[in-house]
A and B are shown apart, each in its own frame.
Chain A
Amino acid sequence: MLLLTCPNCGNRNVSEFRFGGELSSRPKDPSALSSTEWANYLYMRNNVMDAQTEWWHHNAGCGLWFLAERHTRTNEVIKTYPYAKRNA
């Protein structure tokens, strides 16, 4: 993966992007969480050796934060799409 497809700008060198980590979402009601649950949200990652959905930011381009499905072993990017289309 030295090419990454920004859903907005198309194929670009990966050096134009910043990695944003695994897709995880902030709990809706943090005050309802136990310390362990809160710590899990903050620090625990799945770190799979498989296809993983992750954040990328086109920081040297249009500024879009988007999602990429990438295989962590082969580095193959299966697809990229805007966050708004994550359930499509």
Chain B
Amino acid sequence: MRTEHDILITPNRLHPKGGEVIDRTTTIRFTFDGVEYTAHPGDTVASALTAAGVQVLSRSFKYHRPRGLLCCSGHCPNCLVQIGDEPNVRACTRPVEAGMEVRAQNVWPSLNRDLLSLTQLGSRFMPVGFYYKTFIRPQKLWPLYEHTLRHIAGLGEVHIDTPLGEFDKQYLHTDVVVAGGGPAGIGAALAAAEAGAQVLLFDENPTLGGHLRFTVPMDSSSPPEASKNLPELLEAVNHQPNITVFTDTSVLGWYQDHWLCAVKGTRLFKIRTKSVIVATGAYEVPLIFDNNDLPGVMLGSAVQRLVHLFGVLPGKQVVIVTANEDGWDVAADLQSLGVNVGAIVEERESNACSSPYRDGLINAGVPVFYRHIIVEALGSNAVRGAKITRIDEHGEISPKTTQSLHCDLIVTSMGWTPATELAYMAGGKSEYNEERAEIIPVSTPPGIYVVGRASGTHALDSQIAEAQQIGTAAAAFVGFGEVDGLTAHSPDISKPRRTSERVCVPGNKKRFVCYCEDVTDEDVQTAIAEGYDSIELLKRYSTISMGPCQGAMCSMNTIHLCAHANSSTIQETGTTTARPPTTPVTLGALAGQNMEPVQTTPIHQWHLDHGADMMVAGFWLRPNHYGDPASEAMGVRERAGLIDVSPLGKLQLTGPGVPELLERIYTNQWKNLPVGRVRYGVMCNDEGVVLNDGVCAHLNDETWYMTTTSTGATPIFEWLQWWLQSGWGEGIHLTDLTDAYSAFNLAGPQSRAVLEKLTDRNLTNKAFPYMRVRSAKVADVPCRLLRIGFTGELSYEVHCPSAYALHIWEALMDAGREFGIAPFGVEAQRILRLEKAHIIVGQDTDAMSDPLSANMAWAVKLDKPDFLGKPSLMRISTEGPKQLLVGFKMVDSDVVPDEGLQIVEPDADGRLTITGWVTSSRFSPTLAEAIGLCWLPPELASQDGAPFTIRIDGNLVEARVHHDAFYDPDGERLRM
């Protein structure tokens, strides 16, 4: 029911009629720039504002000119608004919600009195490409320029403190995708589905139907019996189980192998299909004339959408500018609704016009100006009139015949350009069709089809017939039914042409080609005169088609202007390359849900429950410390500590070929390693660069158990897979047991006493010496024990089946309580290993480090036959290393230099040369002084005690080379 209240505040709302998408029984409220407006559910922000008589929705990008609805289909930038903290929302497609706070973007102080529009006065200083020419010098003023320009230009505001939205992705698989749910798309989908193909049908509107939703009763060119009406089509889709419909969904791009990307709100679809039918319709092309961007100048299809879908008429007195039957359709449509059609300005001669509505309109007294064109929209913030003129026999406008018409709405229906981006992304080729004055697809790659207005077919009956053919062909292409001598393209060009070649009417005011970036036809002429005369260069220089509309409104007109200026044909001028996305998409939708894998060990919860400070190491979460890393380290030195080293890579190698493989991938000797022994090894690539290190245990005859660094588990597994699968795999099986076993290092002088409580295995030094492996039941669970010593203390690495991890860990902690056991984290381990001068691959080495230079020459056996890296290491050995990794102590024992700091050498003039860098440094709680590892020139590194300087915060601080381990250099404690 219309109420008096509604009439007062929605003067442009028409009486109810069929086909509307709004629910007039309910009224909701929202605000625009703080003013309250009403809307009905189903209204878009723009339709509700238009109903209320609001015409200015935004200010233009560069000149801050007032802009209003133009396309009303989500394809132009004129209605971009800010809604809450979401910028750049298209008001014409976003449904209104109760309480929505809508604001105009980039205006100051307000939308209707935007003082930034004064920039127009300086427009001669902002010619096309001005940002390449001006604001360049003086260079030191650039920060000021940049600050000011950023304030003036741009669109909505991004709020950094906006809560993260919820976005996600979904994969879809199908035989045929139909992009576009108008009559052609629906017809093609039905035909393909009837043949047996699975079809996904996408449409960017809330419901299927395309232009039938707002034009079907008026289509002048199709005999009624040929057209199924919209409800029948929708019914057929509903009953077709092979079709899945996605509305409000834009297909953003085509990628290789028919991989499509589409977006629906916050969800991104990745679609794997075998065939694509492009039924994305056509964009109505604006006409370029003086003040053509004035609010109240709209496209014919925009007005029809507003009228039929939302019951909103954006004016009272309408002038229709046209060059085809569509303009007459709009006129008849409006007139039937009781709108005062003030005039029809028809570019063609009267005898060229064949609209069935012509006589009716003329008889009703609608003035028709044949062979006339609009030259200027009159008004300041909204249309108040139209200046029209006659076209002379040469096709030029004749200024002396100019006359003004009073009106508040100028509707242009000049022609269409097919929306074929998807077909061109897929490699389709186009040609300019002079009959239709449209660039239409002439060939497409296998599996890609174009149908309906996208292929240049406008008449409904032709669209339906073409859709049937194309749908059947696509189904046949994916294996359903036969191809019946079809060509992919049979656009019906026999129908009267729909497009005028006239895109621009000369004048003396601003005439906009590109609404997004405020580019005028004069700018285009200037750019071409400056030499940017190819369409691709023109695009980049002028930024035409690079804004939010992505060329929907401006591409076709620009091609015409460019061709005209170059005196070449449209075909010669060509088009710009189509690239995804076809429509703007939020970064959130592209990013999707947060999906960052996190690896946790089986006792992760125990760590959390015991106050662990967790750190990220690769994909793993590991305890960095449990409060005090220094005392954790001291606990290991003095009593016993337990660390969760489950992330260590653990690889099982079986088979007779394993010893030979170990010889090839490690730099040291392996063939002689007896069963029950463990050996440390370094792996290099053929460049001689250290890849990884770890121990490998010989478990039994043909079984070996290799450990890698935590972050190296996956890369080394892949590395070994490659060598095994490319020729070295004979007699070897490789299995990744990283997760099958959890590992805990029990370290410290009391560790034997702790472990003895839990196992019957003889742990004496004689029965189980250093660098041995034993299997043993620990706390009733079969485990592998490795006696190794990264920390420098007596220690046992307990490897247990992972489901028993918590049981084993708790048993060790319980058994160790009487000895003062404490858990220790990665930080304490780093201190302990540094005291032993043990390196960490990736911390102390980088992608250039070889083991000879990294102080591991003892682990390189250059006299064994061949191994990965040997030839490179031979050369390094001969030539001598360029840098050496060596330990150091600080002269001032309290100063701990940061890792990564430079080691410098002052020359006679005091200038500094960088001679090395610090890779590891800690304050050693055991020695009570600062220690570290660093890279130094060999001559310096080779002298124990040699002084050198580290630059810390600009100060030069002295350190001294330290050979051997800082703690227990003879390794006695390991062998206790």
Contacts and interface: CB of A to CB of B under 8 A. Distances in A.
B256 A2 contact: yes
B718 A30 contact: no
Interface in B665-708: 686-687
B866 A31 contact: yes
Interface in B691-733: 718, 721-722, 725-727
Contacts of B727: 25, 83
Contacts of B718: 18, 57, 59, 63
B651 to A, nearest CB: 13
Chain B CB count within 10 A is highest, among A26, A59, A64, A83, for A26
Interface in A1-58: 1-3, 18, 20, 25-26, 29-31, 33, 35, 38, 41-42, 55, 57
B259 A3 contact: yes
B270 to A, nearest CB: 8
B871 A33 contact: yes
Nearest to B717: A63
Contacts of A72: none
Contacts of B255: 2
Contacts of B686: 26, 41-42
B228 interface: no
A83 B725 contact: yes
Contacts of B725: 64-65, 83
Contacts of A1: 256-257
Nearest to B257: A3
Interface string B392-421: 000000000000000000000000000000
Given A2-B259, A25-B726, 7 more contacts: A2-B255, A29-B866, A41-B686, A63-B718, A63-B721, A64-B725, A83-B726
A2 B257 contact: yes
Interface string B848-860: 0000000000000
Nearest to A27: B871
A65 B722 contact: yes
B722 A20 contact: yes
20 contacts: A1-B256, A2-B259, A3-B256, A3-B259, A3-B272, A20-B722, A25-B726, A26-B686, A29-B866, A31-B866, A31-B870, A31-B871, A38-B871, A38-B872, A42-B687, A57-B722, A65-B726, A83-B725, A83-B726, A83-B727
Interface string B223-266: 00000000000000000000000000000000111010000000
Nearest to B685: A42
A57 B724 CA distance: 13
A18 to B, nearest CB: 7
A38 B687 CA distance: 10
A31 B718 CA distance: 26
A75 B871 contact: no
Nearest to B871: A30
Contacts of A75: 256
B17 interface: no
Given A1-B257, A3-B259, A42-B687, A65 B721 contact: yes
B757 interface: no
Question: On chain A, which size bracket covers the interface?
Answer: 20 to 34
B316 interface: no
Contacts of A26: 686
Interface string A61-84: 001110000000001000000010
A64 B726 CA distance: 10
Interface range on chain B: under 10, 10 to 19, 20 to 34, or 35 or more?
10 to 19
Contacts of A3: 256-257, 259, 272
Interface in B859-878: 866, 870-872, 875
A13 to B, nearest CB: 8
A38 B721 CA distance: 24
A36 B721 CA distance: 29
A63 B871 CA distance: 29
Interface string B775-808: 0000000000000000000000000000000000
Max chain A Cβ within 10 angstroms of own Cβ: one of B259, B272, B687, B871: B871
B256 A35 contact: no
Contact of A57 (B272, B721, B875): B721
A1 B255 CA distance: 9
B686 to A, nearest CB: 6
Contacts of A65: 721-722, 725-726
A43 to B, nearest CB: 9
Top 8 closest A-B pairs, CB basis?
A3-B257, A65-B725, A2-B259, A30-B871, A2-B257, A2-B256, A38-B871, A65-B722
A4 B257 CA distance: 10
B318 to A, nearest CB: 49
Contacts of A64: 725
A83 B725 CA distance: 7
A78 to B, nearest CB: 14
A20 B875 CA distance: 26
A27 to B, nearest CB: 9
Contacts of B726: 25, 65, 83
A12 B866 CA distance: 38
A54 B25 CA distance: 66
Contacts of B866: 29-31
B667 to A, nearest CB: 14
A59 B716 CA distance: 12
A81 B272 CA distance: 23
Contact of B875 (A2, A35, A55, A59): A35
Nearest to A64: B725
A3 B259 CA distance: 9
B183 to A, nearest CB: 32
Nearest to B724: A65
Contacts of B272: 3
Contacts of A30: 866, 870-871
A49 to B, nearest CB: 18
A17 to B, nearest CB: 12
B426 to A, nearest CB: 13
A63 B721 CA distance: 8
A18 B722 CA distance: 12
A3 B255 CA distance: 11
A44 to B, nearest CB: 13
A33 B687 CA distance: 14
Interface string B824-868: 000000000000000000000000000000000000000000100
A55 B687 CA distance: 19
Nearest to A29: B866
B192 to A, nearest CB: 21
A59 B720 CA distance: 13
B576 to A, nearest CB: 22
Contacts of A41: 686
A42 B871 CA distance: 11
A31 B870 CA distance: 9
A75 B257 CA distance: 11
A76 to B, nearest CB: 9
Nearest to A37: B871
A22 B20 CA distance: 61
A69 to B, nearest CB: 16
A63 B722 CA distance: 9
B344 to A, nearest CB: 51
A29 B865 CA distance: 10
